[in-house]
Amino acid sequence: MDEHGFVRVAAASPRVRVAHPEANVPAMIELLRRGESEGADLVVFPELALTGYTCGDLFLDRLLLSSARQALIQLTEEAQAVYTGLFVVGLPLLHQDQLFNVAALVHQGKILGIVPKRYLPNEKEFYEQRWFTPWQDDRHDQLDGMMASGSIPLGQRVWSILPSPEKSSIDRIGLGIEICEDLWTPVPRSTALAWAGANIICNPSASNDITTKGDYRRQLVSSQSARLITGYVYASSGVSESTTDLVFGGHLIIAENGTILAESKRFVRESQLIVADLDIERLTADRIRTRSWSDQKGERLLGPIEQTALAAHRKPNRDIRRAVPAHPFVPDRSDRLGERCDEVYHLQVAGLAQRIETAQPTTLNIGISGGLDSTLALLVAVKTCDQLGIARTKIHGITMPGFGTSHHTRTNAWAIMSHLGVTAEMIDIRPLCLDTFRAIGHRPFGINPTDISLDEFSKQLLDLDDASRHDLVFENVQARLRTMLLMSRGFVVGTGDMSELALGWATYNGDHMSMYNPNVSIPKTLVRFLVEWAADHEFESPAREVLHSIAGTEISPELLPPGKDGAIQRTEDSVGPYELHDFYLYHFLRFGFRPAKIFRLARAARFERPYSAEQIRASLREFFSRFFRSQFKRSCLPDGPKVGSVSLSPRGDWRMPSDASAAAWLAEIDALSMEDLS
């Protein structure tokens, strides 16, 4: 494993010669050699791989059993020269006049332990109880005489692999083994192993293939990894097994907490090996947060499990062998894309509908800017009214152009309200702003607003030098006046999104406030995606064209006057790219990752445009700096529905002191080495 808790695992299915253990060793050595070249920390072979699963009554033959034992010794010794990690391999084992179906854990010339199979299938095409004895849960033996290194533990156990004293994001790796049918039972052995501390489960298996079984097997592995919040490495026998009565497909699966990280093709006639990186720190984060998982750890369903501690050497950081989505909040473009987007809208609609039925407002007031956030809130309000059987005219969309409003957004705001059939109104807030500047004695950009007309004031704004176009009071007055105009009319539907709240990119008691905000847990990348999806799937022309125009508009609060070249205020010029900030937000809130790991993940993701390491570091620093100092704005958020796995609600997901220091996080970012940046 490396310092950020990544463990590289591999599942392998070798071509076997049934009942010829000695001939099977070279195929496994070659796969271990491949595993070493891939940097694997752990390789899992199938059930009874040394002999083949389909030996039948030959399992009762002493020559085969002796050959299997010798093949394990040979494999253990020869593997030292080609492979440095751990591996798991299956074989039949005779012990105290009983025959067991076992898996051995091996590392650097030593057999660390042997785990027998507990549940033996004995129905349909399976006859394992004809040859093997099921292992009893409370039994723990020692196997003597196999290796010169001493006794080998025999029984169910969890190996705790402890990192070296060098810095690491995790305290241990817990490794457990269950064999094939042990997973298919009502209470799989992996359940007890996880409660005993295992966060990686290895399953050497021999699951034959029949129609639809592959789908069921994939679902079983995925769901068990999710139920246990664990990594799961599944390796099954391939097509070189006997086909007298059955066919084996060599199904290999690596899963993590319900997600399939890697999967093999089935029915391949050559040896196969798949590799993926398990994120142990991510699993630990979910286990910490899932109290019901921890609460059940004391419920013993399967007898005591032995513990063995092993030392692990930290490996240097390397390329990450797993998909790292650049936009973790955005649904992937799968067959279920429409279903996912529709679900997000329904969550927003359900929340707003309940609030409307409870509050019984006479109107729903929304500030429509012609930008992404207000458009999404408007679409949700329209869907809500349609669902409740309320006329859309109950929605009062008010566009309030100010000193920085462009013709493009003003036109789009009016057009989308008209096409959706809501009550539309336009209020020019500039005269009110000028009166406010006079009342509070403020001189925007050094301009004296006293005894000056609006036209003259606006003309002087246009003559400003670009370098002097900075005035926070000028911006906040406009934002707060818009909120005042909206709230003076009654119930206000909020429009601000989660990304802006994370960065503090909202005017306190301005666009920050509403009576209910359906966008409160929607990040900016998802807002854009949902507006584009709605344009393509929910609306006809001309509303579709307007929605696409809005989705393609530069993100801007349009609170500052345009520059002399006509350039508008760009939010991302001030805070950095939203796709990066949403990426950081997800990994920080969802898993509690430290900045160095988030930086590394960002380097591995494929964003819409390329970013240098220095750009990522700079924006990461901006994110943490803004996130910490903006908590006071999040501590008093209005109500709104949690839609995804992350929320900033002070009553829900996120409770943080407003005066917490970001020093440790910023120091780690500043300490990123040239090696990290290369």
- Locate the DSSP E strands across 545-671: none
Taking only the tens place, the pLDDT of each residue in 284-312 is: 999 998 877 766 665 555 566 777 777 66
Would 1 be classed as within a structural domain?
no
Q: What is the mean pLDDT of residues 586-612?
A: 95
Taking only the tens place, the pLDDT of each residue in 51-77 is: 999 999 999 999 999 999 999 999 999
Would 317 be classed as within a structural domain?
no
Would 316 be classed as within a structural domain?
no
Q: Is 339 exposed, middle or buried (0-12, 13-18, 19+ CB in 10 A)?
A: exposed
Q: Do 212 and 286 sit in the same domain of this protein?
A: yes
User: Which of 311, 329, 353 delimits the end of a domain?
Assistant: 311
pLDDT for the residue 96: 93
Taking only the tens place, the pLDDT of each residue in 607-651 is: 999 999 999 999 999 999 999 999 999 999 999 999 999 999 999
pLDDT for the residue 35: 97
Q: Do 491 and 592 sit in the same domain of this protein?
A: yes
Taking only the tens place, the pLDDT of each residue in 232-259 is: 999 999 999 999 999 999 999 999 999 9
pTM of the model: 0.92
Instruction: Give me the chain's average pLDDT, please.
Output: 92
Would 324 be classed as within a structural domain?
no
Catalytic residue flag (residue 180) = yes
Torsions phi, psi of 91, nearest 5?
A: -165, 165
pLDDT for the residue 663: 98
Which among 289-303, 352-366, 447-461, 641-655 has the top mean pLDDT?
A: 352-366
Q: Do 274 and 375 sit in the same domain of this protein?
A: no
pLDDT for the residue 217: 96
pLDDT at residue 264 greater than cutoff 60: yes
User: Which of 267, 296, 311 delimits the end of a domain?
Assistant: 311
Torsions phi, psi of 4, nearest 5?
A: -100, 10
pLDDT at residue 428 greater than cutoff 60: yes
CA distance 167 to 163: 9
Give the single-character DSSP code of 184: S
Q: Do 39 and 186 sit in the same domain of this protein?
A: yes
- Three-state DSSP class for 624? helix
pLDDT at residue 28 greater than cutoff 80: yes
pLDDT band at residue 325 using 50, 70 and 90 as cut-offs: very high
Distances (CA, A) of 475 to 70, 213, 563, 564, 569: 79, 62, 15, 19, 11
The catalytic residue among 3, 55, 128, 180 is 180
> Does residue 256 contact residue 227 with C-beta atoms inside 8 Å?
no
Q: Do 366 and 290 sit in the same domain of this protein?
A: no
Q: Do 148 and 211 sit in the same domain of this protein?
A: yes
Q: Which two tokens stand for residue 164?
A: 């070296």
Q: Do 251 and 146 sit in the same domain of this protein?
A: yes
Would 591 be classed as within a structural domain?
yes
Q: How many structural domains does the chain have?
A: 2
pLDDT for the residue 166: 59
Would 203 be classed as within a structural domain?
yes
CATH number at residue 92: 3.60.110.10
User: Which of 276, 311, 346 delimits the end of a domain?
Assistant: 311
Q: Do 374 and 476 sit in the same domain of this protein?
A: yes
Q: In this predicted model, which residue has the larger pLDDT, 124 or 312? A: 124
Please give the residue range of the domain that contains residue 377: 337-677
Q: Do 265 and 341 sit in the same domain of this protein?
A: no
pLDDT for the residue 464: 86
pLDDT band at residue 16 using 50, 70 and 90 as cut-offs: very high
pLDDT band at residue 395 using 50, 70 and 90 as cut-offs: very high
Task: End-to-end CA distance of the chain: give it in Å, rounded.
Answer: 21
On the question of a cis peptide bond just before residue 542, with omega within 30 degrees of 0, the verdict is: yes
Q: What is the mean pLDDT of residues 327-356?
A: 90
Q: Do 304 and 348 sit in the same domain of this protein?
A: no
Q: In this predicted model, which residue has the larger pLDDT, 402 or 140? A: 402
Taking only the tens place, the pLDDT of each residue in 553-591 is: 999 888 888 877 777 888 888 999 999 999 999 999 999
The catalytic residue among 55, 117, 202, 475 is 117
Q: Do 368 and 424 sit in the same domain of this protein?
A: yes
pLDDT at residue 32 greater than cutoff 90: yes
Taking only the tens place, the pLDDT of each residue in 482-493 is: 999 999 999 999
Would 327 be classed as within a structural domain?
no
Q: Do 414 and 506 sit in the same domain of this protein?
A: yes
pLDDT for the residue 181: 94
CA distance 250 to 263: 10
Q: Is 666 exposed, middle or buried (0-12, 13-18, 19+ CB in 10 A)?
A: middle
Q: Which two tokens stand for residue 656?
A: 């943080």
> Does residue 154 contact residue 141 with C-beta atoms inside 8 Å?
yes
Would 536 be classed as within a structural domain?
yes
The catalytic residue among 3, 47, 241, 558 is 47
Catalytic residue flag (residue 117) = yes
pLDDT for the residue 562: 83
CATH number at residue 598: 3.40.50.620
Q: What is the mean pLDDT of residues 192-196?
A: 90
